[in-house]
Amino acid sequence: MNDRALMRMRRRFLRPRALLPGLLGLLAACTVGPDFEPPAPPAVTTYRAAPEIEETAAAAAEGGGVQRFVRERDIPAEWWQLFESPALDALVRQALSGSPSLEQAEARLALATAELDARSGGTRLPQVGLDATTNRVDVESGEIDAPGLADEFPLSLSVASVGVSYDLDLFGRNRRELEALAASVNYERFELEAARLMLAGNVVAAAIEEASLRQQLEATLEAIQLQSRQLGILEELEQLGATPRLDLAMQSGELARTRSTLPVLEREIERARHRLAVLLGEPPGSVMLPELRLGVDLRLPTELPLSLPSALARQRPDIRAAEALLHEATARVGAAQANFYPDITLSASLGGVAAAPFISGTAGFALLAASIAQPLFSGGALRAEEQAAEAMLAQAGAAYEEVVLSALQDVADTLAALDADARILRERAAAASFAETAYGIASQQYEAGAVSLLTLLEAERNFVASSIEETAALGDRFAHSAALFQALGGGWWSEDAATP
């Protein structure tokens, strides 16, 4: 082929391609199906029907200070640092960097992103392919009624071409599919944020639970020492005949009863430490965990951020994930509706053919084509697919509303718990103080013979139980403070959020 013929062929091929962007821009506006709009935030202004409190009650005990609710204050990304515990901060960071659950969530996000990229490259851009073949063609010379032509066989037939095809996506089916895949990527992204929030919250909760149980164990051991000393006194008095054997048996039984609670507390402490080790991504038997103390190694936050209910829908990752599913379902409806309309594909080929020795040199060729596919009868399949997509949209909408209501309930329950925890700790601290005083008085009166051993044991039992209940109430206050940060979304949206 000479240069002039090649230039003519290129002009014929390139002229339609030059018009293609304008044609695509015109057709891009034709996208059937509903357009997604984010749901309106909750219209309520408060979380609870009861009057909102500005601060909690104070208790005359360690960790019994007032907690104030600061409305519309943003939550820091590393919210667990508000407990002012370097050891807790190290535990959470280790969990965020080595948890298998986060690795799974990250892998799912990477998979969804790769699927979107693959589909985007296959639909948004023209598909270009290279095809080259070489064949040896031979025929029986006696079958050719042209002696000169028969002398040219066998011949080598070589064809090389570059093909370009593009789906016009006239009614937006591909665009809706890409929109759905992009929403799926957002869903996995928010699921990853939710997994991080849950992991951090579980680590903090496990550390608080272990510290509370350990302090309850310490209170029980102190009670055992106290009862053991009392039993020793009774043994000496019984040997002197100054007290009946019944009193000795009753004190021995009370000591055994207190000792029986030790295995339960020790079991629960071990469970909490095992759970904490697994959250860190380590086998329970191969990690050294710190022994934290409430009020010493963990400080109770004195100011608690409290977002408005209208902001909660943008902060909770589980709500954002449900919104992404709603977006995906909306796009699927558009894709199902687009299946009723024609599908137009443009294609072009540019190449050359050589048939040696029959043709001297290479002959070029160009081909421009368009194909259209219009469904005429599908036995109701397309209509059923549209109805299924609409049902999925309705389901996603109901699921979104349920997630929002559940989130509002989480915050309301936690606020009620924080209010109750402070008042419970105040009363239990007072009860523990009175029980300690009563036990001291009963001990003195028993030694003076003014009261019976039964009275002493009852005072002793109340003192031990009150001490343990006070420690448990303090642990609840720490746990619900952490739960509030988690219920409000955990601050993942903050600009200074650290990426594990």
CB 83 within 8 A of CB 94: no
Higher pLDDT, 250 or 403: 403
5-9, 334-338, 445-449, 450-454: range with lowest mean pLDDT: 5-9
pLDDT at site 24: 45
Higher pLDDT, 397 or 51: 397
User: Is residue 71 assigned to a domain?
Assistant: yes
| pLDDT tier, 453 (very low <50, low <70, confident <90, very high otherwise) | confident
Instruction: Summarize pLDDT for 60-108 with one digit per residue, the tens.
Output: 888 888 999 998 888 899 999 999 999 999 999 999 998 899 999 999 9
| pLDDT tier, 496 (very low <50, low <70, confident <90, very high otherwise) | very low
- Whether 185 has a pLDDT exceeding 70, the answer reads yes
User: Is residue 435 assigned to a domain?
Assistant: yes
| pLDDT tier, 321 (very low <50, low <70, confident <90, very high otherwise) | very high
User: Is residue 139 assigned to a domain?
Assistant: no
User: Is residue 384 assigned to a domain?
Assistant: yes
| pLDDT tier, 365 (very low <50, low <70, confident <90, very high otherwise) | low
pLDDT at site 67: 93
Share the mean pLDDT of the chain. Answer: 83
| pLDDT tier, 498 (very low <50, low <70, confident <90, very high otherwise) | very low
User: Is residue 147 assigned to a domain?
Assistant: no
Q: Could you tell me which of 157, 211, 179 has the C-alpha nearest to residue 36?
A: 179
Q: How many domains does the structure of the chain reveal?
A: 1
User: Is residue 368 assigned to a domain?
Assistant: yes
What φ, ψ does residue 221 adopt, rounded to 5°? -65, -40
Instruction: Summarize pLDDT for 396-408 with one digit per residue, the tens.
Output: 999 999 999 999 9
pLDDT at site 169: 74
- For residue 293, the enclosing domain spans 3-34+54-134+153-487
User: Is residue 13 assigned to a domain?
Assistant: yes
Provide mean pLDDT across the span 163-181.
Answer: 82
User: Is residue 102 assigned to a domain?
Assistant: yes
What percent of the chain lies above the pLDDT cut of 90? 46
State the CATH number of the domain containing residue 107. 1.20.1600.10
Provide mean pLDDT across the span 6-32.
Answer: 47
